[in-house]
Structure 1
Amino acid sequence: MAAMERHGIFADSITYSELIKCCLARNAVKQGLAQNSEGDEALNQFKRMKRAGFATDQSTLTSVLRACTGHAGLVDDGWNYFQSMKRHYGIDPGREHYGCIIDLLGRAGKLDEAVKLIQEMKCEPDATIWRTLLGACRVHRNVDLAIYAAEQVLKLDPEDAGTYVLLSNIFANSQRWEDVSKVRRAMKDKGIAKEPGCSWIEVNKQIHAFVLGDTSHPKSNEINWRVNQLIHKLMGIGYVPDTNYVLQDLEGEQRDDSLRYHSEKLAIVFGLMSLPMGSAIRIRKNLRICGDCHTFAKLVAKMENRLIVIRDPIRYHHFQNGVCSCGDYW
């Protein structure tokens, strides 16, 4: 913060070109804070910038709403900012603003309010809006609304593989295996393929990629063995595999085993094997981290006294001392 003040972001008198640079910088900072689950700090920056006399534009309000979306305690703040856009800032909400607030309501479990807001939108909801609602249905296990949201997405984007996969996952979590088969059959008939989950980690300036079921890594056997050993140790301190994230019709030990080799678990264990004691483990993932791997990462970070950072498509997760920066809200 002090560095930004030294560079004039909160200066009383700056040139027009400097003002433009500052406006770009402030939005980038708030977006970065939001992605790292620092919603409170992002809002504090917004308030400071308002006091300093900076104008509020559409991008600024998008950043503010995203910051609220990333924190469970900022639902009321986000809703108040959204409702005041026209009145206080003279800005009509656009699709991005609606998308943020629908995400906010959905994450908070206010699915009825989210649907009502979609119906009241002054612009036509796009596929992204409906995907956001679909994601909230997965979190809160509202299967009927999920089916409706998925239908709306596929009307607008019939080839969207993510929607088929997410709907299949929702059915699987409810153990509606016949519906899972129907969705997968529809994907096959349309030639739509599921993107495999993949995690990357850099060690000694070399990128190592991990995918569930892929044994091509030269240390695959050792990694798998160490995953099993680590899970055994974690179960001794209270870890219980969350089989709600098993997406196949399996029973008993098979359900637990299917969770063991998710790509982020493999990447974490490889990081423990390969990086110096005490150094941070930084991982990039192409799909949103699942709840079981999230719990796994928290416990590993505590037991091994490590900082583990996982960047998924939504945000950065900083795992340390048994907690995550997202506050289990993502």
Structure 2
Amino acid sequence: MSRWQYFAKRVLLSVPVLLFGASITFLVIRAGPLDPVSAILGPQGDPQAYNAIKQQLGLNQPLWQQYIDYMVNLFTFDLGESWVLQPDTSVYSLVASYAPRTLWLGFWSVLIAVFIGIPLGFYAGLNPNTFSDYVASFGGIVWRAMPNFWLAVILMSVLSQSEQFLFGFDWETWLSPTNVTGPPPLGNLTSVAGFTAALKKIAPAAIVLGSASMGNEMRIGRTAVLETVNSNFIETAKAKGVPPRSLVWKHIFRNALIPLVPIITGEAFILIGGSVLVETVFDISGIGYLFFQAVKNGDMPLVGSLMFIFILLVVLLNIVQDFLYTIIDPRVGYDGGA
């Protein structure tokens, strides 16, 4: 089986996953407490207006007809319009407006997790039972155990009163004048001042969102290095006289990365889910914040469309995960083909 045939097969196998996820989303939305008609009318709505809007939105149709319309629209990528938050505004327009802030947050969160968590875990694995190993291991457990919402509230409180808690250091005026909460200014990233302001604005939320992943990758990275170091092929490489630097970079680290691939790609969805909480606390106005507001206000088309986008992202990440496996470990094949 060739590489392209393999990935074509993976794409086809992803279709039932999308169908199942979209079906569960439909059932949860329709069976749940969301009532977009009441949200549109408000508390002063009368029964006659309620029935008229319900008929206009198609909510008086049989459930099976609503399900067919819902699935056809999703799989033809007709995500519809918002009913409550921004009536008559397409979901694509809302996603295009809110997504850049979430992408900016997710990018720095992943960098924190990958470029701090993995090196610390690898260093601890190469130096087991030392003081640095104990510090890294303890730090990984603490970071992994702390709830995002708790860390977000604590960090926001400390930075809001930084002169009191950080010995006179004023976070809001440091480097670039910014508030602790609010959306990052992404309109001028090409200039040094604009990039600095956007980075500083997103840094607290990125630290909170990347902390859990960072702790997890530290622990798993340490374990992966320890298992690789004690493997027979490492002893063989040592016996053949492979230089220590080459042994670490080409043999130990490369093989230790293999169990981290599903962790990194799998936690990308955790970042999506965590962004709902973090964006709400820090008032970032990203996709997570939009999803929270859609659920809160009963905006059914927006909730369903965003959930479909989340499911689609997870499916694509699983395919990317398979591709990364083949890069890190060439021994992974395509059922005997090349």
TM class, shorter-chain normalised? under 0.3
TM-score (norm 1): 0.26
TM-score (norm 2): 0.25
- Larger strand proportion, structure 1 or 2? 1
Name which one, 1 or 2, has greater alpha-carbon Rg. Answer: 2
Report which structure shows greater RCO (CA 8 Å, sep ≥6): 2
